[in-house]
Amino acid sequence: MTKTTSGNFFEDFEIGQVIRHATPRTVTTGDVALYTALYGSRFAVQSSDAFAEGLGYDRAPIDDLLTFHIVFGKTVPDISLNAVANLGYAGGRFLSPVYPGDTLSAVSEIIGKKENSNGKTGVVYVRSTGYTAEGTEVLDYVRWVMVRKRDETSPAPIPVVPELPESLDPISLGNAVPLLNQSAWDDDLAGSHFRFSDYAKGEKIDHVDGMTVEEAEHQLATRLYQNTAKVHFNQHTEGQGRFGARLIYGGHVISLARALSYNGLANAFHIAAINGGRHVAPLFAGDTVYAWSEVLDTAEIEGRRDVGALRLRLVATKNRPCAGFPLKDTEGKYQPDVILDFDYWALMPK
Amino acid sequence: MTKTTSGNFFEDFEIGQVIRHATPRTVTTGDVALYTALYGSRFAVQSSDAFAEGLGYDRAPIDDLLTFHIVFGKTVPDISLNAVANLGYAGGRFLSPVYPGDTLSAVSEIIGKKENSNGKTGVVYVRSTGYTAEGTEVLDYVRWVMVRKRDETSPAPIPVVPELPESLDPISLGNAVPLLNQSAWDDDLAGSHFRFSDYAKGEKIDHVDGMTVEEAEHQLATRLYQNTAKVHFNQHTEGQGRFGARLIYGGHVISLARALSYNGLANAFHIAAINGGRHVAPLFAGDTVYAWSEVLDTAEIEGRRDVGALRLRLVATKNRPCAGFPLKDTEGKYQPDVILDFDYWALMPK
Amino acid sequence: MTKTTSGNFFEDFEIGQVIRHATPRTVTTGDVALYTALYGSRFAVQSSDAFAEGLGYDRAPIDDLLTFHIVFGKTVPDISLNAVANLGYAGGRFLSPVYPGDTLSAVSEIIGKKENSNGKTGVVYVRSTGYTAEGTEVLDYVRWVMVRKRDETSPAPIPVVPELPESLDPISLGNAVPLLNQSAWDDDLAGSHFRFSDYAKGEKIDHVDGMTVEEAEHQLATRLYQNTAKVHFNQHTEGQGRFGARLIYGGHVISLARALSYNGLANAFHIAAINGGRHVAPLFAGDTVYAWSEVLDTAEIEGRRDVGALRLRLVATKNRPCAGFPLKDTEGKYQPDVILDFDYWALMPK
């Protein structure tokens, strides 16, 4: 019997199965510094203890996506080591601020599975929850992945496909943000004078800048998240694989695009929910990432006068500036240089 | 109206204008670790809490150049996003030690501007000040940059060129260093038995070692400083630009040269002032940086018996060892492999 | 007289000589984050304060190899700057846990030297000890290096070759581990249900995964350890040297292999001793590292019921998967793609 984990295959997942993932991880200011070095993020709340404390936080919370990546990374050895593709996200909620010193763990429940018609793979739906050592839930989200079958002759299970929300209800937003002392919000320090009321549904913003990704960078990032998916790290095998190159972790793209979005959305300080997301095309080292955003909706949050919510579509491209807001072609298919279509709720001070 | 910042052009700056920069930044031991990983710096005061505490510091202060880069980085989106060149520095003073936990912000005043004869660009002079959340000034310095005009037909302003000191007066040095408990200075741990009195004006030191720079390294560094200048990050555009490659942030060169200078100047533990500095030629990934120093002057600091000041010229080259102390040719022009000519006051224990 | 250190040559070392090394170094959570980013290590004790505290640690200790690399790095300027090769390690003991906030220094004693028959080089044996600012010894080990002679005509010294243990006695193990509260060991969080009694002498484990190394990664790592050996950093000279490329610090390989070994040895949470180690062949950027382990022995530790000791051989290869457990050819010579043969005691909960 081998002591080595080779990951789960499609047949190994059962509806209702709960998996407690290894390895608990204490988040530190070291992680925060690396996150800044990897993406150049400039949102004031996450960058400055003084700014955050003035608003009512205990100190600067870590970037929401750092929380996401760490929780996601824990699920990889059990959920997606044999994944062919990470198909999508839905229903992601940020439930509590995470501070340096907090220890994050993750647990997942299998909530759906459906074999593909080719009989070789299937789709597994998983709800994963990140929580602290004290038991506080900080994040939950659903993702679905295409996983290989161990044995192509094994019978197809009865398909179970969970009903997933197209977007989170605004009432569910803001749990990870204390009631803000609005007078402490300094637009100069935050980097923009545009507040919640300055944004309108349908508005599109080109984030202008581009960022070229190096192999060392995405490997450092993905290891920082203790994400072990083989495709990101092994040129010896991936060089002979379907792409001929290491595939960059999709979350790296989300973080790059989010950091680029500061230019135009500097006051969108918090990701309150992930409505959905798709990695439309792969990214490789040497490519340059650009991004643009569309305001899909704006919403008040019941009981809160300090912040409003913007539903944003964040689109990333590779090697293509976004002044023309590239997305889909006339047949409704993604244009070839679009790599990410990400739908989230951001909070912004009023 | 766009919500995206495209930076200021020559016409946008007014004499006396004060700009409060985004984003405040809490410095942490994570930044210190990254700084060590990026440059391999070995000065004992910045490396060891125990060493620093024995001398009279609260704990190990962060590297002076880390303070400089973070303050500089904040000024970029407002001052030099449309800069053609960062022409020089003068009058830089380190005013207070910076410790992990301090939050740094920056403010700049426009103190001069002068259009170039080509009518396309102009030089803007800026005094920038870095300060903590408690209001303590930690650094100020002047730099001047060549900036594009938005409109080449706009009239030239009346030229204002500030008078800048050729060097800082020794009496202004040492504000960022507590009175040292000299008996705690351990030469073995510091790495050299050469103290202040062992150095003489005119002495030249070859720092011997060379360091090759990778794209991932300078990008990580420059993002760590939240410096957003496009030329450092975007191969998609820079590959078609004047150099065909991403330009490495000039401050990265200063930090590399300073770290190399440990071999020969191990007890020069603190940069007290930046008299001047010029980035003579660009550096690109794959190049190897070497450095040498010349003692331009030595000075006592009034009221201090613990430390003396060395005025040092720090010269960096690319792909050329410095045993011959390369600098200028017979016509007074910099030799082509010289990339940095940096003039600073360092403190050294007596 | 030069102020620059050019390192010691074979003639400079004397038996019994004690060298106090520069630079003391406070270890921080920043270093821990970088270590995670560089290797992707997932051992729960070092990853989670909560997990470690539950067991009886003050908090998460730093990775044993991070301690090793920092102590080793300090010895380089004095011991191995002119080394032709780092020939081996023996008798390494981890004596006390190291926590973020501890300041590490190193001292070395020359315990042997023997000139090689070529008259150009010799082997120097050194015992190095790492200790905290409070004087607690945290690590000692012997290494021997081949060092150039300054002058090939200088006479050969009387050879002194120390007797070195083939392996550490189990009774010497465990000093860096508190008595563990065994009930707190959570196999799910640790990542494996295999405990000490599940491993048997002779068992071999293929760690499956491979990790490709980039120039920026090993340079960041080696500078983080303040290791100054020229061969790791200077492409300008190494490109014309014996390998045509920068040589990757051998310790980087040990850490990569150890991190890969988590898959199969997730509960082997602590390196208690280094019995021996050899860097069999060089590693260069672009190579992919794989690893396998063999259980050389198992042992009880007198007085401890909480943990047992596994003596492990950790073998790393480049560009060759380890399903076949590659090691030596029929003539007893290492196979060409084997790069590391490392013999250590690991502790594992019972």
pLDDT tens-place string over residues B113-171: 999 999 999 999 999 999 999 999 999 999 999 999 999 999 999 999 999 999 999 99
Q: Out of C26, C31, C214, whose CB is closest to B60?
A: C26
In a domain, C141, yes or no: yes
- Residue B241: per-residue pLDDT: 93
Q: Do B228 and A44 touch (CB under 8 A)?
A: no
| Residue B126 and residue B21 share a domain | yes
Average pLDDT, chain C: 97
Q: Is the pLDDT of residue C316 over 80?
A: yes
pLDDT, tens digit, for every residue of C145-164? 999 999 999 999 999 999 99
Residues of C in contact with B51 (CB under 8 A): 24, 103
pLDDT, tens digit, for every residue of A3-28? 998 889 999 999 999 999 999 999 99
Beta-sheet strands, E only, within chain A: 18-20, 25-26, 83-94, 103-115, 121-132, 137-148, 204-206, 211-212, 270-279, 288-300, 307-318, 338-349
| Residue A345 and residue A196 share a domain | yes
| Residue B109 and residue B53 share a domain | yes
- Residue C82: per-residue pLDDT: 84
B3 touches chain A (CB under 8 A): yes
Q: Do B235 and A286 touch (CB under 8 A)?
A: yes
C281 touches chain B (CB under 8 A): no
In a domain, A38, yes or no: no
| Residue A259 and residue A342 share a domain | yes
pLDDT, tens digit, for every residue of B264-316? 999 999 999 999 999 999 999 999 999 999 999 999 999 999 999 999 999 99
Q: Do C22 and B264 touch (CB under 8 A)?
A: no
B263 touches chain C (CB under 8 A): yes
Q: Is the pLDDT of residue C2 over 90?
A: no
In a domain, C158, yes or no: no
Largest Cα–Cα separation, chain B: 65
Q: Do B211 and C226 touch (CB under 8 A)?
A: no
Q: Are C218 and A217 in contact (CB under 8 A)?
A: no
Q: Do B198 and C25 touch (CB under 8 A)?
A: no
Residues of B in contact with C215 (CB under 8 A): 212, 214
Q: What angle do CA C261, C263, C267 make, to 5 degrees?
A: 80
Least CA distance to B19: which residue of chain A?
Answer: A188
Alpha-carbon distance of C220 to A38, in angstroms, equals: 14
Chains that touch C (3 or more CB pairs under 8 A): A, B
pLDDT, tens digit, for every residue of B22-78? 999 999 999 999 999 999 999 999 999 999 999 999 999 999 999 999 999 999 999
Q: Per-residue confidence at B86, pLDDT binned at 50, 70, 90?
A: confident
C160 touches chain B (CB under 8 A): no
Q: Do B40 and C214 touch (CB under 8 A)?
A: no
| Residue A248 and residue A100 share a domain | no
| Residue B283 and residue B218 share a domain | yes
- Residue A23: per-residue pLDDT: 98
B311 touches chain C (CB under 8 A): no
Side-chain-side CA neighbours of residue B59 (13 Å):
16
Mean pLDDT of B174-182: 96
B219 touches chain C (CB under 8 A): no
Q: What is the amino acid identity at position B77? A: P
C47 touches chain A (CB under 8 A): yes
Q: Do B48 and C133 touch (CB under 8 A)?
A: yes
| Residue A108 and residue A5 share a domain | yes
**What's the domain count of chain C?**
1
In a domain, A241, yes or no: yes
| Residue B196 and residue B121 share a domain | no
CATH of the domain at B141: 3.10.129.10
Mean pLDDT of C302-316: 97
- Residue A2: per-residue pLDDT: 87
Least CA distance to A38: which residue of chain B?
Answer: B220
- Residue A252: per-residue pLDDT: 98
Side-chain-side CA neighbours of residue B111 (13 Å):
16
| Residue B215 and residue B132 share a domain | no
Within 10 angstroms of residue A166's Cβ, the number of other Cβ atoms is 9
In a domain, A16, yes or no: yes
- Residue B83: per-residue pLDDT: 87
- Residue A176: per-residue pLDDT: 97
Q: C-alpha A166: how far from its chain's center?
A: 16
Q: Which of A28, A288, A320 to mutate to test the interface with B (most CBs of B within 10 A)?
A: A288
- Residue A319: per-residue pLDDT: 98
Question: What phi and psi values does residue B25 have, to the nearest 5 degrees?
Answer: -145, 115
B244 touches chain A (CB under 8 A): no
Residues 124-153 of A with CB under 8 A from B: none
- Residue B30: per-residue pLDDT: 98
In a domain, A128, yes or no: yes
| Residue A147 and residue A100 share a domain | yes
Give A321 to chain B, closest Cα distance, Å: 9
The 10 Å CB-count burial string (b at 16+, else e) for A85-102 is: ebebbbbbbbbbbbbbbb
Residues of C in contact with B191 (CB under 8 A): 5, 22-23, 77
- Residue A141: per-residue pLDDT: 98
In a domain, C157, yes or no: no
**3-state DSSP call for residue B25?**
strand
Alpha-carbon distance of B56 to B174, in angstroms, equals: 14
In a domain, B159, yes or no: no
C-alpha distances out from residue B68 to A341, B6, B89, B279, Å: 38, 24, 12, 16
| Residue B195 and residue B46 share a domain | no
Q: Per-residue confidence at C84, pLDDT binned at 50, 70, 90?
A: confident
- Residue B82: per-residue pLDDT: 84
Enter the ipTM. 0.97
Alpha-carbon distance of A256 to A339, in angstroms, equals: 12
A214 touches chain C (CB under 8 A): yes
- Residue B153's region, left for phi above 0, alpha for psi from -120 to 50, else beta, is alpha
The parent domain of residue B66 ranges over 1-152
| Residue B98 and residue B202 share a domain | no
- Residue B2: per-residue pLDDT: 87
Give A168 to chain B, closest Cα distance, Å: 26
DSSP 8-state assignment for residue A350: -
Q: Which of B75, B223, B240, B247 to mutate to test the interface with A (most CBs of A within 10 A)?
A: B223
Give C217 to chain A, closest Cα distance, Å: 6
DSSP 8-state assignment for residue B241: S
Please choose, from the candidates C233, C217, C220, the residue with its C-alpha nearest in 3D space to the C-alpha of residue B36: C220
Final residue of a structural domain among B152, B175, B206: B152
Final residue of a structural domain among B122, B152, B182: B152
CB pairs under 8 A between B and C: 139
Q: Out of A28, A217, A233, whose CB is closest to C211?
A: A233
Within 10 angstroms of residue A326's Cβ, the number of other Cβ atoms is 18
pLDDT tens digits in sequence order for chain A, 350 residues long: 689 988 899 999 999 999 999 999 999 999 999 999 999 999 999 999 999 999 999 999 999 999 999 999 999 999 998 888 888 999 999 999 999 999 999 999 999 999 999 999 999 999 999 999 999 999 999 999 999 999 999 999 999 999 999 999 999 999 999 999 999 999 999 999 999 999 999 999 999 999 999 999 999 999 999 999 989 999 999 999 999 999 999 999 999 999 999 999 999 999 999 999 999 999 999 999 999 999 999 999 999 999 999 999 999 999 999 999 999 999 999 999 999 999 999 999 99
